[in-house]
Amino acid sequence: MIIPVWRDSKALDAQLGILQSCDAVREIIVSAAEPTADLRARAEAFGAIFLDCAQPNRGQQLNHGAQIARADWLLFHHADSHLDGDHVSTLAALSPGLAVGGAFYRKFDERHPRLRSLEKFERWHSRAFGTLYGDQSIFVRREHFLRMGGFAPFPLMEDVEFSRRLRRSGKIKLLDPPIYSCAQKQIEQGAWRTTLRNLLFLVLFRCGVRAERLHAWYYGARSTITADRPSDPRSKRRSHSAVDSGGSTARPFIN
C-alpha cells in the first residue's frame, strides 16, 4: 500500500493504526512531501516504510512508492480516506484474472445527504465508464502498473489521467464495501462550493490546462512544482519513466 502525504499527515496515524492489524497488507509505504519533523518517526512506529520527497507532486510521490513496492497488488490510498480490514480482505480475494485494476465504490456521506438517493446511479457510472479517483483507493496489478509506466508526474489530476489509461488497458473491477473520505474539511469550506470547484478544475484539466497551474490555483499559492514532461492531458505520449520495473520478484497480497 502506498500513501502520498502532503498537508494531511494528521489523518495518517489513525489510518496506519487500522492497517497495521491487517494481515494481508505486507508493506505500507508513506511517500511524503511533508515538513513535519516527527512524521518519519510516527510512520515507522507503525511499521511503515518512509520516503522523503523533495516537493509536493502526488504523481511522482506515488511512483516513488511503487518503485520499491514488491506485492502483486499495488494499492494507492489517500490518508484521509477510511480503509479497513474488510476492504483489504476483498482486494486480497480478488482473482488476478478478473481485472488488471480498479477501485472501491464511493460512499456518499453527510456532505450531501440529499444525494444519497443517487448512490446506485453513481455505482453504475463507476462500473461503466466513470473516472476512478484517488479517494476511491485505486489498485492495480504491479506488473500491469509497470507496463503502463505508472502515473504521470502531475501534482494534481494524476488519478484522472491514470484512470483513463487504466480503463483502456484492460478490465477493471469496482469493489465493496464502499469507501468514504473525511468530510470535515469540505463541510468547513462549504460542501457544495468545494464540489463545484472540483468540477470546474476537472473541466479545465480536460480542456488542457496544465496540472501545475491547477495545483497552484487549488492551493492558493504560486506553484514551484516542476514535471518531467509537459502535462497536457491530451498528450498521447505515455512513456512515464518515473517507475522502474526493477526486475524483482513480486510477493503475494497487497502493498
Q: Are 162 and 243 in contact (CB under 8 A)?
A: no
Give the single-character DSSP code of 25. B
According to the model, what pLDDT value does residue 188 have? 61
Q: Does the model's pTM come out above 0.75? A: yes
> Which helix (H) or strand (E) is 178 found in, with range?
strand 172-181
Q: Beta strands 101-106 and 29-32: pairing type?
A: unpaired
Question: How do the pLDDT tens digits run along the chain, 255 residues long?
Answer: 999 999 888 889 999 999 988 989 989 999 999 877 799 999 999 999 999 998 999 999 999 999 999 999 999 999 989 999 999 999 999 988 899 999 999 887 655 566 666 778 888 988 999 999 999 999 999 999 999 999 999 999 999 999 999 999 999 999 999 998 765 565 566 666 777 888 899 899 999 999 999 999 988 754 444 444 444 443 433 444 456 555 444 444 567
Q: Beta strands 29-32 and 2-5: pairing type?
A: parallel
**Measured distance CA(58)–CA(150) in Å, rounded:** 12
Torsion of the alpha carbons at 59, 135, 22 and 150, rounded to the nearest 10: -30
Tell me the domain boundaries of the chain: 2-254
According to the model, what pLDDT value does residue 183 have? 55
Q: Which of 60, 241, 237, 227 is nearest to 147 (CA)?
A: 241
DSSP 193-206: HHHHHHHHHHHHHH
According to the model, what pLDDT value does residue 200 have? 93
166: left (phi over 0), alpha (psi -120 to 50) or beta: alpha
According to the model, what pLDDT value does residue 249 have? 40
Homologous superfamily assigned to 2-254: Spore Coat Polysaccharide Biosynthesis Protein SpsA; Chain A (3.90.550.10)
Angle at 176 between CA 61 and CA 70, to 5 degrees: 35
Amino acid type, 70: R
According to the model, what pLDDT value does residue 193 have? 76
